[in-house]
Structures are given as C-alpha cells and as structure tokens.
Structure 1
Amino acid sequence: MPRRHLPPPPPPAHLRAWHDEAVLQDDRAEFLAELARHSLGLTRLLLLWSVAAVFAFGWSFLGMALMSFEQGDGLGALIGAVFAALGFGVLVPAGFWFAWGARRDREVRQLLCAWAESEPVGEVPGAVPGAVPGGHPAAGVRLRAPGRSLGWLLSSSVLCAVGLWVAFGWAASARPDGATYGEVAYYIGLGMILWITGLLGAGKAAAHYRWAARVFTVRAPRAPRAPRASR
C-alpha cells in the first residue's frame, strides 16, 4: 500500500500554535482512528495469514524435495532439485513481502505514537477517562478496539493451537516404518509456520490494546492529603 494512503505526521510543536485548535483536535482524533484501523483491521489480519499461506506453500515444495532426495536415486535427486528451486522461488518473495508488512506496521505505529503525543492526555480541562482530548469522549474506547483486539487474539490463539498440534502431534505419532524423515520435517515446519503466525497476531493485538489503554486513559488527580494535626 503506498505511503500516501496513510495520514500525514502531526505538525511540529512550534507550528501548532498557528493552527486552529479545534481543527487540529478533530484531525488528531480522525487520524488516530484511521491509523488504528490500519494497524488492527481485518485487512491486516488477512494480509498476515496470506503471507503465512505463501510461506506454507513454499515449504510444501521443500518438503517434497526432501522426500524426493530420500529415494536415493538419480531421478529422485533431479525431482528434488526442481522442487527445492520452486520452494526457494516462493519463499524468497514471501520473505520480502513479510519485510514490507513489518516495515508498514512500524510506520503505522510511529504515526500512532506521534499523533498520540501531539497533545498530551490530561491537559484539557474536564477530560473524560478513556477519552482522546478534543471533544471525542468515546475515541479512547474505539482506539483500544477491544472487539478487534479480541478477534485477533482468539483467531491467533486457535492458529497457535493448530500449529502446535500439526508439529508435535505428527512428530509424536510418527513411526520409523510408517513415516519418512522428509514427512516429519515437512509437518514440523508447517506447524511452526502456523504457530509463529499465531504468535505474531496475538502479540500485535495485545501490544496495541496495552498501548492504547496506557496512552488514552486519563487518571484522576489524587486528592491532596489533609495536614496532620499537631499534637
């Protein structure tokens, strides 16, 4: 996705005084909501799963290459070399795709932090707990995105469980006379791809929720202590 589809960074601190305060606060709330959708939206989850599917597809070729090499003849070695070339031909672009997605997520996170810090929480009189300053009382709850965070967490947890079952369940049930080393390596690798994908999704959901809850929760000021009576 091109960079122009992301909101711009906030204006520098020495230029904010020249902007209309209400307009700046409205832009801040709008851009934060848009960045939160970029960070934890359904599209990002499907993109993560798509990258994992491409990795699994490429690993399938490598698994077939290992099984072909185990045949120990010239034809098996030739077929294995072809499968290995196809596998690396899929895995290398998948690696670049994954790096692009990680760089995109880092850019979104930097913009989120920049816009969140553009107006410190708690400086607006009458601020509501959990609100983003600027007259948007429910914005803090929307930015925490509890529904999307829970969806990411649950789906990623299921993916982690499936990955562990594929990896260790197959390895535990394999028998020397029934499964080859290539098959065991293939299923363990496939399970690890699913498990790592689930960990990435669950970690991202938890990190976003904790960050938003910390940044957009206004703590009530402590009441001054009463002076102690002199004895």
Structure 2
Amino acid sequence: MARRTPLPPPPPPAEIRAWPDRSALLADRAYAMGELTKRQLGAGRLTFFLLVMALVQLGWGFVGAALIGIFDDGLFDPLTAIFAAFMAAIGGAVMVPSVWLVVRGVRNDIACRERLAQWTGLDHDPAHDAKVREPVRSVVWGLLSFALCALGLWVSFAVPNMFVGPTRGGYGTVAYFLGAALILWVHGLIGLTKAYHHYRLAIRLGK
C-alpha cells in the first residue's frame, strides 16, 4: 500500500529562511495553509472520520453481542462461552485498528493546528486568507458533530429504557448501548474541537 503523503513541513527557522522575495514566501504559505486545512476539514477527511467511527461501532457491536450472550440469556453454558469468546475476538480485531486510526487522526489534527499557527504568523495575505477562512467547513463539522453528541445523549438515556426490562435486555444490553453512546460522544467532541479551532483561525486571519 502506498504511503500517505506527509504533511507540509513547518516554516524554516528565521535564521535559515531563504525565500527570494515576499511573493515566493506567500506562495509557500498559501500552499501549506490550504493543504493543512484540507487535511483537517476537507471532504476526504470527513469521509474517513465517519468511516472510522462506523468501524469502531461495528467492532463494539460484536463485543456487545458477547456481553448480551453472557449477561442477558440467563443461562451461561459452554456453548454460550464459546459464542461470546468468538464474538469478542472479532470485535477486538475490528476495534483495535479502528481506535488506533482515531488516535492517529487526533494526533494528525494537533500537528496540523500547530503548523497552521506557524504559517499563519509568518505573514499576512488577505486574498488567500479569505479562502482559508471559508466558514462552510467549520459549520459542516460543527453541525455534524453536534448531531453525533445529541444522538449519543439519546442513546445513553432513551434507548436503554426501550430495550431493557424484565422480559427484555439486561446488563449486557445496557453496557452495549452505553458503549455505543460513548463512541458517538467521543467522535462528536473530536469534530467540535476541529470546528472550534477552525473558527479561531478564521478570527485570527480576519484581524
């Protein structure tokens, strides 16, 4: 598999900067800021973000099936144990790389924000900065992330009441829905953080 294109590097230290003129500096600044913003908030990043969240939910679904088999069936026998272990193994195999992708994405976002701040402070280019400040990106991320947090809140409180009871689910069902809600909350907060930092960047560029 081809290696992912690395992030644009930060600007060189002041003592070794060698741009021939300001236009060359602004051209490099425009490319770096545009690429870093796309890596954080572009359509490709949003698609990847949602796909990874779906994979984490899928893995947790297998683990949830194991929990329900153990705690909600009322009879724990060797066959149930084998089924639970099998489902948990599949869930772990899906969740571990998916969670790693989430962590890598967060680290990538932090690196992008740091480099954006460095390139932003290097100079001022109103014509290009207006493109980077485009509010649509942060609005899309903000609304979607808010929806994920709201859905997580609903799953935390309303859904267990619908599926848990004397003749329905038990502790395993509760654990599954709470885990699913936590996944929604974590991804919603990640997205809200990205939208907030882009909003701060837009304010800084508008000064």
Mark yes or no: TM-score above 0.5: yes
**RMSD (Å), alpha carbons:** 2.0
Please, what TM-score do these two structures have when normalized by structure 2?
Answer: 0.87
Question: Cα 1:3–1:74, aligned 2, differ >3 Å: closer, same or farther?
Answer: closer
Tell me by how many angstroms 1:59 deviates.
Answer: 0.6
Aligned counterparts, 1:191-202, within 5 A? 191-202=181-192
Larger-gyration structure (1/2): 1
Equivalence for 2:148: 159
Question: Cα 1:177–1:6, aligned 2, differ >3 Å: closer, same or farther?
Answer: same
Q: Residue type matched to 1:181 in 2?
A: Y
Moved more, 62-71 or 75-84: 62-71
Aligned counterparts, 1:102-113, within 5 A? 102-113=106-117
Indicate conservation of the 8 Å contact 2:149/2:189, yes or no: yes
Q: Kindly provide the CA deviation profile for residues 165-211 of structure 1, in whole angstroms up to 9, marking residues without a partner as x.
A: 12211123332332222122112211221122112112211122113
Q: Residue type matched to 1:146 in 2?
A: P
Moved more, 203-212 or 171-180: 171-180
- Among all aligned residue pairs of Structure 1 and Structure 2, give the percentage whose two residues are the same amino acid: 42
Tell me by how many angstroms 1:87 deviates.
Answer: 1.4
Please, what TM-score do these two structures have when normalized by structure 1?
Answer: 0.79
Moved more, 2-11 or 201-210: 2-11
Equivalence for 1:229: none
Q: Kindly provide the CA deviation profile for residues 88-108 of structure 1, in whole angstroms up to 9, marking residues without a partner as x.
A: 111111122122222222222
Aligned counterparts, 1:44-193, within 5 A? 44-70=45-71, 71-119=75-123, 132-133=124-125, 137-173=126-162, 174-193=164-183
Structure 1 portions without partners, runs of 5+: 120-131, 219-231
Indicate conservation of the 8 Å contact 2:29/2:119, yes or no: yes
| Number of corresponding residues | 202
Moved more, 173-182 or 66-75: 173-182
More RCO (CA 8 Å, sep 6+): 2
Q: Kindly provide the CA deviation profile for residues 125-175 of structure 1, in whole angstroms up to 9, marking residues without a partner as x.
A: xxxxxxx33xxx332232222011101111111122222212211123332
Question: Cα 1:75–1:18, aligned 2, differ >3 Å: closer, same or farther?
Answer: closer
Structure 2 portions without partners, runs of 5+: none
Tell me by how many angstroms 1:5 deviates.
Answer: 4.1
Indicate conservation of the 8 Å contact 2:64/2:176, yes or no: yes
2:12 partner SS: coil
Indicate conservation of the 8 Å contact 1:156/1:202, yes or no: yes
